[in-house]
């Protein structure tokens, strides 16, 4: 027999070679398709330019917008990290469904945990391809340097990407269980958070009862923190810690939901019939 390397033992051990193989598979796909690469860059750039010029126009009237320069642009970029992070996760998963490759993967030694980690890595790669050009455009067109946020940006990014993976896990689990008929959820689920997480306005704008809902969502803390930083030049570490605690809860729940949906898919035979 061909010599094969031993994988790390234990139910929860992660084999880097299997994660690497999955990342390689998606890297091959991305680099073989210029429309896929273009799609990653096109929409974020369009969003930034539209909102950036809108902010320039509005800020000509003094008041909040003049004081909080870059708030809109910052919100657009951070929202894209949240949305594109989830999309990068879900799209990589959907590629396996579209290519009818899921059976091959589920039959291979690839563990579900390794599959999920590879989707997380791909979400970061796809995000970098889409958002880095966007941030450079923000510097060139609007003089907004996202990287100037320093450590705060790291805190914002980590909290947003954790939430994006949670939503990605749940939307992918729903597609796994219900087939490609549920594909639309992968594209739209995150938009449910858009009004509630107060991307473009402060939480105080919401009615009281909706504010309670908003504070249950980790991205709300990030967008409030971003406004505090850009408007008042204050880094709210307390908000970031609270967001992180909520993210731990969200990720734990979403992993449990994904595992339950996968188990249900095995019971109902959905892995064998991955069509609509």
Q: Which is nearer to another protein, 129 or 199 (CB)?
A: 129
Residue 175 or 214 having the CB closest to another protein: 175
- 100 touches another protein (CB under 8 A): yes
47's CB contacts (< 8 A; 6+ apart) are: 76, 80, 134
Torsion of the alpha carbons at 109, 254, 241 and 143, rounded to the nearest 10 = 80
Q: According to the binding rule CB under 8 A, does residue 99 interact with another protein?
A: yes
Q: Which is nearer to another protein, 29 or 189 (CB)?
A: 29
- Of 28-57, binders to another protein (CB under 8 A) are 28-29, 32-33
- Cα–Cα distances (Å) from 98 to 4, 107, 156, 270, in that order, read 30, 17, 33, 14
Report in angstroms the alpha-carbon separations of 76 from 55, 87, 226. 11, 16, 11
5 vs 233, beta carbon nearer another protein: 5
22 binds another protein, rule: CB under 8 A:
yes
Query: Number of residues in contact with another protein, rule: CB under 8 A?
Result: 41
> Which candidate, 140, 160, 143, 149, places its Cα nearest to that of 221?
160
Among 15, 37, 203, 244, binds another protein (CB under 8 A): 15
Among residues 43, 49, 65, 95, the one that binds another protein under rule CB under 8 A: 95
Residue 2 or 204 having the CB closest to another protein: 2
DSSP of 92-160: HHHHHHHTT-HHHHHTSS--HHHHHHHHHHHHHHHHHHHHHHHHHHHHHHH---GGGGTHHHHHHHHHH
Stretch that binds another protein, among 97-105, 174-182, 210-218, 227-235 (CB under 8 A): 97-105
Contacts with another protein, residue ranges (CB under 8 A): 1-7, 11, 15, 17-18, 20-22, 24-25, 28-29, 32-33, 95, 99-111, 263, 266-269, 271-272
């Amino acid at each position: 027999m061909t010599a094969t390397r031993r994988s790390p033992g234990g139910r929860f051990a992660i084999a880097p070679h299997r994660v690497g193989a999955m990342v390689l598979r998606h890297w091959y796909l991305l680099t073989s398709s210029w429309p896929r690469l273009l799609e990653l860059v096109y929409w974020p750039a369009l969003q930034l330019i539209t909102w950036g010029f809108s902010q320039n126009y509005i800020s000509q009237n003094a008041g909040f917008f003049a004081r909080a320069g870059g708030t809109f642009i910052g919100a657009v970029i951070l929202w894209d990290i949240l949305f594109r992070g989830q999309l990068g996760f879900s799209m990589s998963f959907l590629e396996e469904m579209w290519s009818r490759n899921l059976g091959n993967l589920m039959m291979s030694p690839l563990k579900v945990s390794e599959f999920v980690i590879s989707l997380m890595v791909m979400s970061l790669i796809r995000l970098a391809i889409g958002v880095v050009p966007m941030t450079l455009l923000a510097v060139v067109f609007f003089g907004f340097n996202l990287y100037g946020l320093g450590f705060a940006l790291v805190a914002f990014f980590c909290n947003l990407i954790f939430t994006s993976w949670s939503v990605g896990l749940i939307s992918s689990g729903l597609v796994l269980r219900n087939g490609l008929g549920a594909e639309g959820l992968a594209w739209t689920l995150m938009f449910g958070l858009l009004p509630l997480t107060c991307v473009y306005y402060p939480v105080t704008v919401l009615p009281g009862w909706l504010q309670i809902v908003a504070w249950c969502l980790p991205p709300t803390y990030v967008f409030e923190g971003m406004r505090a930083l850009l408007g008042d030049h204050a880094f709210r570490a307390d908000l970031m810690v609270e967001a992180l605690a909520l993210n731990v809860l969200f990720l734990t729940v979403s992993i449990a939901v994904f595992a339950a949906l996968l188990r249900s898919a095995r019971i109902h035979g959905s892995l064998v019939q991955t069509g609509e």
